[in-house]
């Protein structure tokens, strides 16, 4: 971890308009929760549906994409990364720090709002809010690692990320049960299922697979990103 | 004292060869890397700075490879051509972050900002800076650890004349103090003013190497082609062909085309002849004075 790298990255992510990119979805989630609560839709099954489809199914991967790629891809794109790379700090330290920044931002903008939305809807009933927040927390960390890696590996990080999140996890994962095994979203869902007492929460991937998979993918992605940054080629305008 | 050593370095992108079998040693003092745009100067500089792996050959700093070796940045300071600065930081925050990334106290940042005369504007955001100011802040960021080696990619681009002179002085002073400095440029006059040693790169090849007098002589001692329009072309042509410095004179509808082997003599002769013959000169223009042709002549000869 390097505090200078972290502070520059936080400033880049949270500066002025950029913060709205991260805040928009959680604000929408909370607004939906408040609205449902006001019209009297605050029952367990509705809460689970909202958290499952919106919080874990849409907000988590999209924020993961914004934060995970956002901590590094724009800097590689516009060449500002050269400021960090031309210093005597190891490249894996840079990627690990950026991973930590992305993960903490995701906890702040995804896991915590997930808990709050659940709490607004049904309080602490059946442990739904806490278990989805826990799922979102671990999902955040895994997404941060994977999208950071994509941000280092390809100049088309956002495109690749959208294809993974929407096409693989969203579309293929919906119709092909086998694909769900390799979906961060489903792993987060498994964790939520495990710790909630609600009969409405279901998951397809056993926890015994989801947790090790999550750890291996996250650690592997962060390590690989560090190695890729070591051999990052920056070309001039020629 | 640090030495950069390139041995038979090549770099290609797919089928395109950007740098072709370059061998050069850059020692203490100021070296100018001169070449037209697209000659591979940036590619070469990136390999010296550890941002690009040579496709062939070796790039060493004091005997150690530069590629994938981050401790070299204790020795190297780099001023890239691309912006490479965070617009949302102030000049002070940017240079201070460079100091802290080197594990140095804030005084180092203050000193570097002072060196490039950016102290008065240090609390403004970089995005409000002019191009020359950004350039100077980048130089401050690269000088913060007082590096033995300083690499600058087209450092004088976008600077106003006063800033340019100031940075040139700074570069010269650092060179005189024994630092190893390499800067790239496509402008001969710029290189001439600052560098003792000049390396010329043309189309990815190391075309010439020497001090500026040597390079200047090679650039002027070559056949020049001039177009001359006057009140009496024929009369002027007859007088010109009589002098040994003209290699050939032809009459064209657009005026005279004069080829000369001796630039100095010809440029002295022409006005004198015109005065003696009472011919008015309307236009005298070199037709092959652009850098590309100068460079291609140089690379063709060496």
pLDDT at A18: 81
Which of A98, A100, A132, A102 lies closest to A115, judged by CA? A132
Model confidence at B289: pLDDT above 60: no
**Terminal-residue alpha carbon distance, chain B:** 30
- Percent pLDDT > 90 in chain B is 68
Chain B positions in Cβ-Cβ contact with residue A237 (cut-off 8 Å)? 42, 81-82
By CB atoms closer than 10 A (0-12, 13-18, 19+), residue A7 is: middle
Strands B29-34, B197-202: pairing kind = parallel
Question: Which of B42, B52, B89 is nearest residue A237 as measured by Cβ atoms?
Answer: B42
Model confidence at A107: pLDDT above 90: yes
Model confidence at A101: pLDDT above 50: yes
What's the rounded Cα separation, in Å, for the pair A18 and A70?
Answer: 10
Confidence of residue B74 (pLDDT cuts 50, 70, 90): very high
Distances (CA, A) of B19 to B26, B82, B241: 17, 20, 43
Domains and CATH numbers, chain B: 4-219 (3.40.50.300), 222-288 (3.30.70.920)
Contact B143, B115 (CB under 8 A): yes
Average pLDDT over residues B40-48: 94
Decide if A236 and B42 are in contact by the 8 Å CB cutoff: yes
pLDDT tens digit string along B269-279? 999 999 999 99
**Terminal-residue alpha carbon distance, chain A:** 34
What's the rounded Cα separation, in Å, for the pair B109 and B91?
Answer: 10
Contact B38, B215 (CB under 8 A): no
Gyration radius from chain B CA atoms? 23
Maximum Cα–Cα distance for chain A, whole Å? 63
| Tokens matching residue B8 | 């038979």
Chain B positions in Cβ-Cβ contact with residue A7 (cut-off 8 Å)? 97
Length of chain B: 302
pLDDT tens digit string along B220-243? 777 788 889 999 999 999 999 999
pLDDT at B43: 94
What's the rounded Cα separation, in Å, for the pair B139 and B231?
Answer: 53
Confidence of residue A237 (pLDDT cuts 50, 70, 90): very low
Which of A72, A60, A76 lies closest to A12, judged by CA? A72
pLDDT at A29: 96
Chain B positions in Cβ-Cβ contact with residue A12 (cut-off 8 Å)? 86, 88
Q: Which helix (H) or strand (E) holds B189?
A: helix B188-194
Q: Which of A82, A85, A91 to mutate to test the interface with B (most CBs of B within 10 A)?
A: A82
Decide if A86 and B78 are in contact by the 8 Å CB cutoff: yes
Chain B positions in Cβ-Cβ contact with residue A82 (cut-off 8 Å)? 51, 78, 80, 82, 84
Confidence of residue B29 (pLDDT cuts 50, 70, 90): very high
Q: Is B38 on the interface with A (CB under 8 A)?
A: yes
Question: Which of B41, B68, B98 is nearest residue A231 as measured by Cβ atoms?
Answer: B68
Decide if B88 and A12 are in contact by the 8 Å CB cutoff: yes
Decide if B70 and A11 are in contact by the 8 Å CB cutoff: no
Contact B36, B204 (CB under 8 A): no
Decide if A84 and B101 are in contact by the 8 Å CB cutoff: yes
Helix segments in A154-206, DSSP class H: 157-162, 173-175, 184-195
Decide if A82 and B84 are in contact by the 8 Å CB cutoff: yes
By CB atoms closer than 10 A (0-12, 13-18, 19+), residue A162 is: middle
Q: Is B80 on the interface with A (CB under 8 A)?
A: yes
pLDDT tens digit string along B86-98? 999 999 999 999 9
Decide if A4 and B42 are in contact by the 8 Å CB cutoff: no
Contacts of B246 (CB under 8 A, 6+ apart): B240, B258, B259, B260, B261, B266
Average pLDDT over residues B138-153: 96
Confidence of residue A238 (pLDDT cuts 50, 70, 90): very low
Write phi, then psi, for B243 (nearest 5 degrees). Answer: -90, 140
Name the minimum distance, in Å, from the CA of A142 to any CA of chain B.
27
Confidence of residue B290 (pLDDT cuts 50, 70, 90): low
Confidence of residue B210 (pLDDT cuts 50, 70, 90): confident
């Amino acid at each position: 971890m390097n505090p200078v790298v972290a502070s520059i990255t936080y400033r880049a992510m949270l500066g002025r308009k950029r913060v709205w990119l991260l805040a928009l979805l959680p604000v929408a989630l909370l607004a939906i929760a408040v609205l449902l609560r006001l019209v009297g839709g605050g029952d367990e099954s509705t809460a689970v549906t909202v958290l499952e489809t919106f919080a874990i199914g849409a907000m988590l991967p999209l924020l993961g994409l914004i934060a995970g790629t956002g901590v590094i891809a724009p800097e590689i794109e516009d060449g500002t990364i050269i400021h960090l790379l031309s210093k005597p700090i190891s490249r894996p330290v840079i990627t690990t720090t950026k991973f930590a920044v992305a993960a903490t931002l995701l906890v702040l903008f995804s896991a915590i709002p997930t808990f709050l939305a659940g709490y607004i809807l049904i309080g602490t009933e059946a442990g739904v809010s806490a278990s989805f927040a826990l799922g979102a927390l671990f999902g955040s960390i895994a997404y941060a690692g994977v999208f950071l890696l994509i941000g280092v590996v390809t100049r088309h990080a956002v495109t690749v990320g959208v294809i993974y999140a929407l096409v693989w996890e969203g579309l293929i994962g919906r119709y092909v049960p086998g694909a769900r095994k390799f979906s961060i979203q489903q792993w987060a869902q498994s964790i939520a299922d495990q710790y909630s007492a609600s009969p409405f929460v279901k998951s397809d991937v056993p926890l015994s697979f989801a947790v090790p998979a999550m750890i291996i993918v996250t650690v592997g992605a962060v390590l690989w990103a560090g190695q890729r940054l070591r051999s990052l080629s920056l070309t001039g305008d020629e | 004292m640090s030495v950069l050593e390139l041995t038979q370095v090549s770099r290609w992108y797919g089928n395109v060869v950007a740098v072709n079998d370059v061998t050069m040693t850059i020692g203490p003092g100021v070296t100018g890397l001169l070449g037209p745009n697209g000659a591979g100067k940036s590619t070469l500089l990136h390999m010296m700075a550890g941002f690009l792996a040579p496709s062939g050959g070796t790039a060493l700093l004091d005997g150690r490879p530069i590629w994938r070796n981050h401790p070299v940045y204790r020795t190297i300071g780099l001023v890239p051509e691309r912006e490479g600065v965070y617009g949302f930081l102030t000049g002070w925050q940017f240079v201070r972050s460079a100091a802290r990334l080197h594990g140095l106290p804030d005084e180092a940042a203050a000193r570097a900002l002072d060196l490039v005369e950016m102290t008065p504007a240090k609390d403004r955001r970089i995005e409000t800076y002019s191009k020359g100011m950004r350039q100077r802040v980048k130089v401050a960021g690269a000088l913060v650890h007082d590096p033995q080696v300083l690499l600058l990619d087209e450092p004088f681009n976008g600077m106003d004349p006063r800033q340019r002179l100031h940075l040139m002085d700074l570069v010269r002073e650092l060179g005189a103090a024994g630092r190893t400095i390499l800067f790239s440029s496509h402008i001969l006059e710029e290189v001439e003013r600052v560098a003792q040693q000049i390396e010329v790169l043309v189309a990815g090849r190391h075309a010439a190497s020497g001090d500026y007098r040597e390079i200047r002589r090679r650039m002027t001692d070559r056949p020049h082609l001039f177009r001359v329009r006057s009140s009496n072309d024929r009369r002027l042509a007859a007088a010109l062909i009589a002098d040994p410095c003209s290699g050939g004179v032809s009459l064209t509808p657009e005026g005279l085309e004069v080829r000369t082997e001796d630039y100095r003599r010809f440029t002295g002769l022409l006005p004198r002849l015109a005065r003696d013959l009472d011919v008015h000169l309307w236009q005298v223009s070199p037709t092959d004075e652009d850098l590309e042709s100068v460079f291609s002549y140089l690379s063709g000869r060496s």
